[in-house]
Amino acid sequence: MEKTVQLYEGKAKKVFATADETLCVVSYKDDATAFNGLKKGTIVGKGVVNNRMSNMLMQLLEKQGVPTHFVKELSDRDTLVKKVAIVPLEVIIRNVSAGSFAKHYGVEEGIVFDEPTIEFSYKNDELGDPLLNSYHALALKLATKEEIETIKRLAFKVNEVLTEYFKTLKIRLVDFKLEFGRLSDGTIVLADEISPDTCRLWDIETNEKLDKDRFRRDLGGVEDAYKEVFKRLMGE
């Protein structure tokens, strides 16, 4: 399935139409942004890592009963996906304190929670992706009650599957962001990507950061961190 017109260019990916109106092609770039676009840069090879990693994890999740948008990997950077109407919620699951959680609640990073947490932000760049709860999401008609219940259930299921999987790669899944979308028949599926851009991944023994925090916080070794995750995942 060939890509035709470009529908959208985001910060990290482009989305193209195809001859089949139920499908589109996402094309992963090396562009990196942080702090709602204030910090910009390039992470060489990131597009390939994020594309192939997302596809591998989405296939794993499908096998475990989580419906996803994945259809077919077309190349190192391009993937055919089911076209969805994105539910404008960023769904964040946390297993360990880090990032904005540590900042908001004045705790150090690295506290392992007894139970995972879930939170939503309103996916809206102009407003800076403000935090909201499910009542706010309902009031704003971003999703129905049933959809929010489905999204919560699927997000925790994703966490269970990925936490166990990353453990086998000696990686701690600290936190991550998911996006869900609606197919034309209303079915909710996991969309967007799962990658070091959208997950915090720490080496299980050394706690070394193997994710986008290396870029956000100018820690150096950004490309190597993405390569290391890729190597552990693909054995390459």
**Could you tell me which residues come within 8 angstroms of residue 145 by beta carbon, excluding any fewer than 6 positions away?**
138
Bridge partner list, 27? 14, 78
- The residue within the footprint of ligand ADP, chosen from 11, 152, 157, 216 (CB under 6 A), is 11
Give whole-number Cα distances, 97 to 174, 229, 235, in Å. 7, 21, 29
Q: Which of ligand ADP, ligand UDP, none sits in contact with 81, Cβ below 5 to 8 A by type?
A: ligand ADP
Quote the CA–CA distance of 212 and 43 in Å, as a whole number. 10
Q: Which of ligand ADP, ligand UDP, none sits in contact with 99, Cβ below 5 to 8 A by type?
A: ligand UDP
- The residue within the footprint of ligand UDP, chosen from 100, 117, 144, 207 (CB under 6 A), is 100
128 binds ligand ADP (CB under 6 A): no
Restricting to residues 39-98, which ones interact with ligand ADP according to CB under 6 A?
A: 69, 81-84, 86
Work out the burial of residue 2: count CB atoms within 10 Å of its CB; fewer than 13 is exposed, 13-18 middle, 19 or more buried.
Answer: exposed
Closest-by-Cβ residue to ligand ADP is: 10
Per-position x/- string for 179-208, each x denoting binding to ligand ADP as judged by CB under 6 A, each - no binding: x-x---------xx----------------
Long-range CB pairs of 68-73 (<8 Å, 24+ gap) are 68/189, 68/190, 68/191, 69/181, 69/189, 69/190, 69/191, 69/192, 71/23, 72/1
Restricting to residues 21-50, which ones interact with ligand UDP according to CB under 6 A?
A: none
- The residue within the footprint of ligand ADP, chosen from 1, 4, 6, 10 (CB under 6 A), is 10
Give least dist CB 82 to ligand ADP, A.
6
Does residue 58 contact residue 70 with C-beta atoms inside 8 Å? yes
CB neighbours (10 Å) of residue 88?
A: 16
Element (H, E) at 165: helix 145-168
Cβ distance to ligand UDP smaller for residue 17 or 109: 109
Cβ distance to ligand UDP smaller for residue 71 or 174: 174
Residues that bind ligand ADP (CB under 6 A): 8, 10-13, 15, 24, 26, 69, 81-84, 86, 179, 181, 191-192
State the residues that interact with ligand UDP by CB under 6 A: 90, 92, 98-101, 129, 175-177, 198-200, 212
